[in-house]
Structure 1
Amino acid sequence: MAISPTFSARPRVLVVGGGYVGLYTALNLQKKIAKSGGIVTLVDPLPYMTYQPFLPEVAGGNIEARHAVVSHRKHLKHTELIQGSVTSIDHENRTAVIAPVDGATPFELPYHDVVMAAGAITRTFPIKGLAESGIGLKTIEEAVALRNQVLSLIEQAGTETDPAVRKRHLTFVVVGGGFAGIETIAELEDMARAAVKLNNRVEQSELRFVLVEAMGRIMPEVTEKQAVWVVEHLRSRGMEVLLNTSLDNAEGDGIKLINLPDKSVAQEFDADTLIWTAGVMANPMIRATGFPLEPRGRVSTNTNLQVTGEFGVIENAWAAGDIAAVPDVTGGLPDGTCVPNAQHALRQAKRLAKNLWASRFNKPLKGYKHKNLGAVAGFGEWQGVAKIMGIQLKGPLAWLAHRGYHGLAMPTVERKFRVIMDWFVTMLAGRDLAQLENLQAPRRTFVAAATPAPKPAAKPAEVAKEEVTASK
């Protein structure tokens, strides 16, 4: 396979993935590497980084979708950007195979250092109908589609005369009781209530929101007392919270839930909206790299964020974020690795960039160490829960802490400003409740206008006249 002549021949730091780790690694290295005669190259199928903690608020109409993403091109001006996927890595020969998103012929790209930052994807299970009926909440596209779907179904229900279909339109199911699931169902419920207030053909009592969690409690990141309060809060808003319950089947429009551990049938009903937020897993592309993996499918690293194998450190190979099993010296997951969240990813990226640069000069590397300061979650307007340095908050104070933390954590000043302005406008004018139709088929209206109308059928008298003329 030939090496593409289109890209720079300078010594390259190849960053695989443009999420939290990829963006911040490139931001912190691009100028330094360029001044030393090299170049940073970032490869990702998308031209932007998504700030995933904001996806529930995008779905709920609090934040404009474009404001929850950070453009690579705008903020990585000294980085070589390739929109594509790394399909394999030959680290012994320091080359990677890149497949462009436009379907062009894959090509090889040489590198000096490689940074594995491909993050995580939604973790699913082999449940019948899930792939056909479900939608995740891991991408900005899913958040926008979900928002439009919920609002559109409320509109459809307003003119639906079949009671069963109407009930199906207004039933919304979220599987997964972690932060993503709780924030998603709370934001969507808030938005749906606001939309129904403007529609006199739909009653608030017709809305049905169901949260399904396989464990005996939700949100393991907060205390058990706080988790119980969250369940009570959701139920006080009319939502159903089903613990020790699992999704068994989602074929067609049907939802079949079973009790755990005996697997008896808990409920069966129809729903047009099934949202899956039941965890994540390391991006499977890591399997094509040849780097050593630990049991959960993540690449093995040491505290310096260097990829490590059976025989020690693999030189010039680095990894961080959700794709990496980074040791947590302060105590993290049961296996002693860092929890896969944005708080760790952002800090690991900065440490990785410093260590990679130090390695160029054979300077000592510093291990990654960060004690989790806590967790914050928002549940719609003025509602939330938080545990910050042992301090437990709920209600408006937790909601403010949630917005304060994520407002500061949003990458780049420009994006911080846009998000804060969105919040300010929402406080004054309320959520944006306008759904956008036909996003999957944007040419539909034009095609209909440009297609000639069928010729109307001839009237009986005209047909007779034509027959007489023909006989003559």
Structure 2
Amino acid sequence: MTKRILVLGGGFAGVACTRKLESHFKHFSEVEISLVSEDNFLLFTPMLPQVASGTIETRHIVIPIRTICKKATFYEGRVKNIDPYGKRVALYGTNEKRGINLEYDYLVVALGSQTNFFGNQSVESNAYTMKTLNDAVVLRNRIIDMLEQAENERDPILKQSLLTFVVVGAGFAGIETAGEILDFLHDAKKHYPHISENDIKVVVLEALSIVLPGFSERLARFTRDKLIQRGVDIMLNTMVVSFDGSEVLIKDAVDPTRTAVKDPNMRSLQTKTLIWTAGVTPVDTIKNSMFKTDRGRVMVNEYLEVPDFPGVYVIGDCSLTIDPSTGKPYPPTAQNAEAEAKTAAYNLHATISGKTKSKIDHVSKGQMAIIGKRTAIAHIGGMNIHGFVAWCIWRTVYLRKIPKLNKRLRVLLDWTADLLFDRDISRLKIIRKDQPIDYKELDEVDDVW
């Protein structure tokens, strides 16, 4: 009897799980594997800030899913809803194609996350984000647009606001984005004779009292000192109140465990560009599903299986997976997503083959972050490394993680060209069409045939 395994999500978790399933079941003709993703490519997100800064070409960090998942049937589409009782998943239709229903025997949910604005509507409406490939391209165009406008601006106050770039969030994405933006601005200013280094301002806002939480205090301090030395203004214990596209209103962050003795100090920054990297949250499809969630993430057992629905596994950013060594949830990182994908694939193979399932027991191999200007930090094998050596390690490790050799070579060539030539400052005008509307699902259309 045919067993149907359906994987939802084309990110690190979904693609890694699909590839492992293909390996486990390569000699099982009775097992059908299907993968659903909104995009037909895997986005290598660690290098996204380098796309925004023009260091790497856009196409070089996307790997077509069909070239790395050969056995699985691939569906490009967006998940509309998940019915774990009927074991069915509905995909949205568009004006080009009809929506369809996919039935399964086993399900792996790896739908990832979306940007979390914490209910701040003004920020959501006016801020730039760094989550998708489109975000990186749009941000790069925005930076170049600000340089072009500031070059011939005679009002010093307006010119300063055009050249002030505010990054909210001092985690991995925020710090790496700030470093890349600063590098790009300093390299590009040579083409703008009326813009000096003193005109350029990059500000990082963080609600916590530290940068890069999760790293050792020594590496976090090194990162902060290095960025400040290079000219980045880091404002800790600072929260964003609102942003209208021209002014960001901020206030002092208040520790919720303590009683405030006075009202937070409210002030403002004049900027035309605010980049929001302050957090992620599971996608709405997960939040609106029948699964039990905690802060939007699906609660799973030690086998990564949803207790109420045997045969349904949830992995990656949308899974609340507990680290047995710490008793705390695993952080939403690509490394953890791939580890969970490996465990889920093994457990599916064990279930179908009648073997014993394995519990999740992933130990982090380390952490790395690039902070610009050929400088990085790394915590590997219990050692704290920073500076140029850490930068070389970062590039070596992530280059090896790219699944396709041709993409590795293209990225390597981009890095080499960056050492030899100036970055391109052409601004690409991209006009997006309206989103296609949703059409009826296939089985509903069938009723009238």
Tell whether the structures are fold-level matches, with TM greater than 0.5. yes
Equivalent residue, structure 2, for 1:95: 88
Query: Can you list the C-alpha shifts for 1:444-464, whole angstroms capped at 9, x where unaligned?
Result: xxxxxxxxxxxxxxxxxxxxx
Amino acid at match of 1:437: L
Q: Decide whether the 8 Å contact of 1:152 with 1:435 is kept in 2.
A: no
Counterpart for residue 319 of structure 2: 324
| Whole-angstrom CA distance in 2 between matches of 1:356 and 1:438 | 46
Contact 1:292/1:308 (8 A) holds in 2:
no
CA contact (8 A) 2:245 2:273 kept: no
Answering whether residue 160 of structure 2 is matched by residue 161 of structure 1, we say: no
Tell me the alpha carbon deviations over residues 96-125 of structure 1, each in whole angstroms, 9 at most, x when there is no partner. 111135564433221111100001111112
Deviation at 1:128, TM superposition (A): 4.8
State the alpha-carbon separation in 2 of the partners of residues 33 and 16 from structure 1.
20
Q: Paired residue for 2:339?
A: 347
Task: Name which of 229, 235, 238 aligns with 1:242.
Answer: 235
Residue of structure 2 aligned with 1:78, choices 44, 64, 71: 71
Q: Are the aligned partners of 1:33 and 1:40 in contact in 2 as well (CA < 8 Å)?
A: no
Q: Is the contact made by 2:52 and 2:136 (CA closer than 8 Å) also made in structure 1?
A: yes
In the alignment, the residues of structure 2 paired with residue 307 and residue 440 of structure 1 have an alpha-carbon distance, to the nearest angstrom, of 42
Mapped to 1, the partners of 2:432 and 2:85 lie a distance apart of 46
3-state SS in 1 of match to 2:241: strand
Question: Residue 175 of structure 1 is aligned with which of 168, 171, 175?
Answer: 168
Question: Where do 1:443-458 residues align within 5 Å?
Answer: none
Q: Distance in 1 between matches of 2:236 and 2:358?
A: 43
1:161 alignment partner, SS class: coil
- Counterparts in 2 of 1:392 and 1:73: CA distance versus 1, 3 Å: same
Q: CA deviation at 1:435?
A: 2.9
- Cα deviation, 1:255-294, whole Å, max 9, x if unaligned, reads 111112255345313211100000111222113431222x
Find the aligned partners of 1:398 and 1:302 in 2 and give their Cα distance: 36
Amino acid at match of 1:30: E
How far off its partner does 1:427 sit?
A: 2.3
Structure 2: distance between partners of 1:393 and 1:260: 31
**What residue in structure 2 maps to residue 437 of structure 1?**
428
Q: Is the 8 A contact 2:188 2:425 kept in 1?
A: no
Unaligned runs of 5+ in 2: 255-261, 434-449
Could you give the per-residue CA deviations for residues 106-149 of structure 1, whole angstroms, max 9, x where no partner exists?
33221111100001111112335212210110111101111121
* Amino acid across the alignment from 2:7: V
CA distance in 1 between partners of 2:230 and 2:33 (Å): 50
Q: Which moved more, 1:222-231 or 1:135-144?
A: 222-231
**In structure 2, what is the equivalent of residue 299 of structure 1?**
298
Instruction: Give 2:368's match in structure 1, choosing from 370, 376, 379.
Output: 376
1:231 to 189, 213, 224: 224
For residues 67 and 436 of structure 1, the distance between their equivalents in structure 2, rounded to whole angstroms, comes to 19
Task: Name the SS of the counterpart of 1:315 in structure 2.
Answer: coil
Question: Where do residues 398-409 of structure 1 align in structure 2 (5 Å cutoff)?
Answer: 398-409=390-401
Q: For residues 310-347 of structure 1, what are the alpha-carbon distances to aligned partners after superposition, in whole Å with 9 as ceiling and x for unaligned? A: xxxx321111111111221232xxx5221110111112
Kept in 2: contact 1:22–1:117 (CA 8 A): yes
Contact 2:205 2:234 (C-alpha < 8 Å) held by counterparts:
yes
Secondary structure of the 1:360 match is helix
User: How many angstroms apart in 2 are the aligned matches of 1:346 and 1:56?
Assistant: 21
Bigger CA radius of gyration? 1
What secondary structure is seen at the aligned counterpart in 1 of 2:63?
strand
Quote the sequence identity (%).
30
Provide Cα deviations, 1:321-374, integer angstroms capped at 9, x if missing partner: 11111221232xxx5221110111112212221221121111111122221122
Letter paired with 1:279: G
- 2:144·2:427 contact (CA, 8 Å) conserved in 1? no
For residue 43 of structure 1, report the CA deviation from its aligned partner: 1.3
1:172, distance to aligned residue in structure 2 (A): 0.2
Distance 2:324 2:379 in 1: 21
CA distance in 2 between partners of 1:87 and 1:307 (Å):
20
Q: Which of 420, 423, 439 lines up with 1:428 in the alignment?
A: 420
SS where residue 85 of structure 2 aligns? coil
**Inter-partner Cα distance in structure 2 for 1:136 and 1:102:** 28
User: 44-53 vs 410-419, which deviates more?
Assistant: 410-419
Does 1:274 pair with 2:266?
no
Q: Give the direction of change, closer, same or farther, for the CA distance of 1:362–1:102 in structure 2 (3 Å limit).
A: farther
Distance in 2 separating the partners of 1:105 and 1:376: 43
Q: Tell whether the 8 Å contact from 1:386 to 1:392 is kept in structure 2 after alignment.
A: yes
- The residue type paired with residue 318 of structure 2 is I
Bigger Cα displacement from structure 2, 121-130 vs 352-361: 121-130
Looking at structure 2, the residues matched to 338 and 238 of structure 1 have their Cα atoms a distance apart, in angstroms, of 34
Aligned equivalents of 1:367, 1:101: Cα separation in 2: 40
Shift of 1:63: 1.4
Residue 358 (1) aligns with residue 353 (2): no
Distance 2:278 2:244 in 1: 18
Which moves more between the two structures, 44-53 or 271-280? 44-53
1:290 paired with 2:290, answer yes
Cα distance change of structure 1 residues 275 and 407 upon mapping to structure 2, 3 Å threshold: same
Distance 1:436 1:37 in 2: 51
Compare 395-404 and 69-78 and name the one that shifted more. Answer: 69-78
> Contact 2:205/2:239 (CA < 8 Å) preserved in 1?
yes
Partner residue in 1 for 2:10: 18
Aligned residues of 2:179 and 2:373 also touching (Cα < 8 A): no
**Is the CA contact (8 Å cut-off) linking 1:326 and 1:338 kept in structure 2?**
yes
Judged with a 3 Å threshold, the aligned counterparts in structure 2 of structure 1 residues 285 and 168 are, in CA distance, closer, same or farther, namely same
Structure 1 position 34, deviation (Å): 7.8
Count of residues in Structure 1 that have an aligned counterpart in Structure 2: 425
CA distance in 2, matches of 1:102, 1:38: 33
Which residue number in structure 1 is paired with residue 177 of structure 2?
Answer: 184
Residue matched to 2:411: 419
**Whole-angstrom CA distance in 2 between matches of 1:252 and 1:221:** 32
Q: 1:166 to 1:273 in 2, by over 3 A?
A: same
RMSD between aligned residues: 2.1
Shift of 1:53: 1.1
Match of 1:133 among 117, 126, 132: 126
Q: State the TM-score, normalizing by the size of structure 2.
A: 0.89
Greater RCO between the two (CA within 8 Å, min separation 6)? 2
Partners in 1 of 2:101 and 2:115 — Cα distance?
A: 29
